[in-house]
Amino acid sequence: MNSSERIVNILMRMLRGGKIDFDNYRAIYGKSGRTFHRDLEAIRNNEDFSARYVLHYNTVQKKYYVTNIGVINSAEVLAILKILIGSRALSKKELNDVTEQLLESVATEDQSNIKTLLTTTSESYIPAVDGLIFPRVKQFSDWIIAKKSITFKYNGVSNGTNVLEAQVGVPLSMYYDNHHFYIMMYLIDADKTFLYRMDQFGKIVPNGKAVNVPADKRPDIGRMINKTFLLSGGNHVHYKFSYEGNEQVTLENVPNSYLSNDDDPENPDVTIVEGDLFSEGALLWVLSQGAQVKVLGPQSLIERLRKELKKTLEYYSDEK
């Protein structure tokens, strides 16, 4: 073993939390005390090492060891981990793995404090998913970048129905909301864009070639994720609403809206707006507004609204 290999072995041992003294060094490598200190100096003087670590000597144990300076401060890591725990989006194993990796980025002296502050919440952690989520994140990331279509089965409900047969779609984007990751998917046969919960996918088979998705089937998810009503699933719809309120109030209250060309400026008490939502979110929002909003389009949303209102009225019909 040459000197470079020996120095690497010593360094890796200390980076894993081990300690070394001269007796141990001589037993393993058979070298002198002078060589031992020269090896340690080579480690201490390495610029990459000194940027992240400090070599220490314990005068009581007479052993050398390494501590981490930390590339992220403890408050940042604690905040990130608290958010992850609160999200419940990862499996317990994935949360533990991420926790350990993030702790390695913090100064050694702060790691035990962070673990103490996490103990209560991490022990009672109940994930919102049954399996591992990171492999799916990696798969969908690759498919989104490659613009490839996939043939898939979905175990959840999309657009109010549970579709049992295989579907073919192109994953467009991925985002997180309310304990789950979601995939925005363009379905080729339906020529529509739908939302799917990532952990509800069944068998997925990637197809060979890239697919160009029409621009009007690619909603601006960057704008839409700021509104909670946009994240309830269904297909992408372009809506037109009549809202009882002036222009300013309407634009503030109607999610993701802009003034429609059909708006009548002579009628300040009613404002017509348009925008983009996902169908389930749009339905929930309209139902929450009562008679203050009237749906002018699309027809599919009007029909869904009629069904829901009819069902609601049946709950309160006079019994004879």
Angle, in degrees to the nearest 10, between helices 92-103 and 108-123:
160
Per DSSP, helices labelled H in the chain are: 3-15, 22-29, 33-44, 47-52, 74-87, 92-103, 108-123, 134-146, 221-224, 247-253, 279-289, 299-315
State the pLDDT at residue 287: 92
- Please give the Cα distance from 48 to 119 (Å, whole number): 33
Instruction: For residue 230, name the pLDDT band (cuts at 50, 70, 90).
Output: low
Residue 16: both structure tokens together: 């894993």
Stretch 13-24: mean pLDDT, rounded? 93
Q: Domain boundaries in the chain? A: 3-68, 74-123, 134-218, 223-315
- Please give the Cα distance from 136 to 140 (Å, whole number): 6
- Please give the Cα distance from 139 to 127 (Å, whole number): 21
State the pLDDT at residue 65: 94
Per-residue pLDDT of 68-107, as tens digits, reads 888 888 999 999 999 999 999 999 999 999 999 999 889 8
- Please give the Cα distance from 210 to 37 (Å, whole number): 59
Per-residue pLDDT of 164-202, as tens digits, reads 789 999 999 998 887 889 899 999 998 988 888 899 999
Per-residue pLDDT of 297-312, as tens digits, reads 999 999 999 999 999 9
317 pLDDT more than 90 = no
pTM of the model: 0.65
- Mention the CATH class of domain 134-218: mainly beta
State the pLDDT at residue 143: 95
Residue 285: both structure tokens together: 């929002």
Per-residue pLDDT of 116-131, as tens digits, reads 999 877 778 989 888 9
- Report the share of the chain in percent with pLDDT over 90: 60
Residue 79: both structure tokens together: 């905040």
The widest CA-to-CA distance across the chain, in whole angstroms, is: 102
Element (H, E) at 224: helix 221-224
**224 vs 17, more confident:** 17
Residue 186 exposed, middle or buried by CB count within 10 Å (0-12, 13-18, 19+): buried
- Please give the Cα distance from 24 to 63 (Å, whole number): 10
State the pLDDT at residue 31: 93
State the pLDDT at residue 155: 87
State the pLDDT at residue 4: 92
For the chain, the first-to-last Cα distance in angstroms comes to 95
How far, rounded to the nearest angstrom, does the alpha carbon of residue 287 sit from its chain's CA centroid? Answer: 29
State the pLDDT at residue 178: 75
